[in-house]
Amino acid sequence: MANLTDEKLVEVKSINKWFGDLQALDDVSLDVQSGKVMVIIGPSGSGKSTLLRCINYLETPTNGQVWFNGERLTSDQRELNRHRAEIGMVFQSFNLYAHLTILENITLALKVVKKIKQKDAESIAIEQLKKVGIADKADKLPSQISGGQQQRAAIARALAMRPKLMLFDEPTSALDPEMIKEVLDVMMMLAKEGITMIIVTHEMGFARAAADEVIFMDNGRIVEKNTPDGLFNQPTSDRTKLFLSQILHK
Amino acid sequence: MAFEDSLSAAQKVSLQQSRRQRLRTRLATFPWWLVLILLLIVGTLLLITNSPTYNEAFVTIRSGMIVTLYITLISYAISLLIGLFTGLGRVSSSILSQNIATFYVELMRGIPMLVLIFFIALVMVPGVVNFLALLGAKLIELGLTTIGNPLAGLSNRSISMSVRAVIALSLTYGAYSAEIFRAGIQSVAKGQMEAARSQGMSHGQAMRNVVLPQAIRNVLPAIGNDFISMLKDSSLVSILAVRDITQIARLYAGHSFRYPEAYTTLSVMYLTMTLLLSMLVKLLERRLRNNG
């Protein structure tokens, strides 16, 4: 058996995604090894989020294959639920369960999906909240805490499931500027712990520091794929150069 | 006074003006309508306590209160259940459930309630009963007597008019509350369902644990108002000769010819109940808003 860290945790094999007449993804392939951090950048509407959402089948690819943990994802709901329990997802708009406290937000899926007992679920939740630094907010409702705290709670909720993979869909785009850092700090900590992550973001500083690999997407295609150093310092495609010059020299 | 003495004449005028302004907005926002309604209620109460004929009317009509309340409560409870499941059907991804739910809702909403009550009580229920009895007879022929006997024993007489009234009200109101639940479910942000699904919950688990609790919370005031409407519309069952307060008032007025006594008392009884209930709903609404 091959070394575990060399194994491909995620394999996307030439997927296409059409929304009606609009092609959101055009023959996209990528793979992510266990323990690696992949950052996807690109202009809005380039298909980054769609690609991310195809990886846990929140969007079903029109064709092509997605493999996770050595198994091919299909529309079989039971199988899909099993895989999704191992794929944490963090959304741009947090999507914390609005009627539940922060603690209950984390314990819900532990109880419902993983059948963990209330007491054990609570101790897992507290542990994760401590990790992201908001254990004191456990009894608050999402609407009672700041955006940055909500996003950290959402990360804790995903981590509590002990996922093999974490997906981040523009996790800081809906945040006030002064709250971006607290969320990026948590993500950086996770990257250092060796959690496999795929991150769609506009935070180039974070991408440079945290990523093992950076992908640049445009018009539903992967234009360029490289190490952060390579992509940011010696971009090969003109499209990448233009995008980087626009985003970095504002 | 000492403070006002120290002011200039112009300042005094402006102070007076602002006071007048405040008084005016106070008078404008004061619920005068409520005073009028309370006067109506109190006036009728005085009549009931002082006039023997009004008193007789009230005591007579009051005896139908239990029927009115139990028909309203039972029909309401059943209609909520029907409404919840039909509402779920309306937003379901299954084309079959979607169409069945929409068919039912449109059917009920397209026919006047009075006509529906006649139809359900006098056509649908007897039809279903006859069908079941026939089925029972066939089952007995096939030797399935344990199921067949009770079915074959069914006759139209065994289903009382008040039960038919409850069926009719539940079915009509089920369609109305289905629309409320549908709107409630659709008012919950899409991201809530997505987050739950992304954690590995099934559609049903996500619905039960995440979407429905929020949806129901959002529609509680509307559901409360539905109860008030149901209380009023329960008067329609009097046409089936169910002895609710309306029917008893009709009977009383019919043989005593005391129309003002009967219908004033009846109206004020409904008014009192609906007023109290709508205050309750407003209170509930305010509490939900504050906790939201």
CA nearest neighbour of A218 among A55, A19, A49, A47: A47
In chain A, which residues have their Cβ closer than 8 Å to the Cβ of B288? none
Tell me if A244 is assigned to some domain. Answer: yes
Residue B286 neighbours by CB distance under 10 Å:
11
- B213 in A contact zone (CB under 8 Å): yes
Helix residue spans in B51-160 (DSSP H): 52-62, 65-90, 95-109, 113-119, 125-141, 145-152
Tell me how many domains chain A contains.
1
Option in B197, B210, B214 nearest A84 (CB):
B197
Does A38 map to a domain?
yes
Please judge whether A97 and B200 are an interchain contact, meaning their C-beta atoms are less than 8 angstroms apart.
Answer: no
On chain B, the residues whose CB falls within 8 A of the CB of A84 are: 197-200
- Whether A150 and A93 have beta carbons less than 8 Å apart is answered as no
Compare all CA atoms of chain A with the CA of B211 and give the residue at the minimum distance: A97
pLDDT at A27: 95
Say if the Cβ atoms of B195 and A96 lie within 8 Å.
yes
Is residue A221 in some structural domain?
Answer: yes
The chain A residues in contact with chain B (CB within 8 A) are 56, 58, 77, 81-89, 91, 93, 95-99, 108-109, 112-113, 143, 154, 157-158, 161
Are the C-beta atoms of residues A180 and A172 closer than 8 Å to each other? yes
Tell me the CATH number at A227.
3.40.50.300
Give the β-pairing of A71-72 and A63-68. Answer: antiparallel
pLDDT confidence of residue A6 = 58
User: Contact A85/B200, CB-based, under 8 Å?
Assistant: yes
**B203 contacts A77? CB cut-off 8 A:** yes
Calculate how close chain B gets to A130, using CA atoms only, in Å.
21
Q: Give B195's contacts in chain A (Cβ within 8 Å).
A: 89, 91, 95-97, 154
As given in the structure block, the two tokens for residue A210 are 């945290």
| Cβ of residue B191 closer than 8 Å to a chain A Cβ | yes
Q: Which residue of A has its CA nearest to B199?
A: A85
- The answer to whether position A120 is within a domain reads no
Query: Could you tell me which residues come within 8 angstroms of residue B11 by beta carbon, excluding any fewer than 6 positions away?
Result: none
In a domain, residue A81? The reply is yes
CB contact set of B42 (below 8 Å; sequence gap of 6+): none
- Res B5 pLDDT > 70: no
Chain A nearest CA to B103, separation (Å): 29
Residue B292 with chain A: CB contacts under 8 Å: 143
Distance of CA B198 to the CA centre of its chain: 38
Architecture of domain B57-291: Orthogonal Bundle (1.10)
> Is the CB of B200 inside 8 Å of chain A's CB atoms?
yes
Range of the domain at A242: 1-86+201-250
Per-residue pLDDT of chain A (250 residues; tens, 9 = 90+): 444 445 799 999 999 999 999 999 999 999 999 999 999 999 988 999 999 999 999 999 999 999 999 999 999 999 999 999 999 999 999 999 999 999 999 999 999 999 999 999 999 999 999 999 999 999 999 999 999 999 999 999 999 999 999 999 999 999 999 999 999 999 999 999 999 999 999 999 999 999 999 999 999 999 999 999 999 999 999 999 999 988 876 5
